[in-house]
Amino acid sequence: MKEIKAIIRQYTLDAVLDALHAHPEFPGVTVSSVRGFGRTVGRNDTGGDRPVQYGTVEMTKLECVLNDDDVNDVVDLIQRAAHTGRIGDGKIIVYDVESAMKIRTGERINRI
C-alpha cells in the first residue's frame, strides 16, 4: 500500500475531487486546509492570486492510502487536475505504508 500526500491550490480542489471520484478503484481522501511556504513565497512571490500572511500561503492538503497498482493513475489524475502552470501549484509525495488497521473491527488491512 502507498500513501499519497498532495499539497494543492485551494481553488483546484473541486477539479481534483471530480477527477478522483471518476477513478473506479479510488477508496477515499482526507482534505485539510493548511498554511506553509515554498522557495518563492516571502522572497520573490510571483503567484499573485494567493493570500500571503506572515510569509505563508493557504493551500489544501489531500491524503489518501491506496493499493500500489493504483498509485500512478491517481498521481496523474491529481497532477492534471491541479496543474495551472504557475509557481506554487503544489507538490505530490508518495510514501510506503507499513501497516493499516480498521479502528472499529481491529482488522489489519492488506489491501484497500
Domain assignment present for 75: yes
Residue 21: C-alpha distances to residues 25, 29, 32, 100, 107 (Å): 9, 10, 17, 22, 26
pLDDT in tens, 35-89: 988 876 544 445 556 555 567 889 999 999 999 999 999 999 999 999 999 988 9
> Which residues constitute the domain of residue 35?
2-39+53-96
pTM of the model: 0.85
pLDDT of 13 over the 60 cut? yes
Is the residue at 67 inside a domain? yes
User: Hunting for cell 481553488 — which residue is that?
Assistant: 11
The answer to whether position 80 is within a domain reads yes
Residue 84 resides in a domain: yes
Residue 44, domain member (yes or no) = no
Q: Is residue 45 part of a domain?
A: no
Number of domain units in the chain: 1
Nearest-angstrom CA–CA distance, 12 and 82: 5
Looking at residue 51, its pLDDT comes to 55
CATH assignment at residue 87? 3.30.70.120
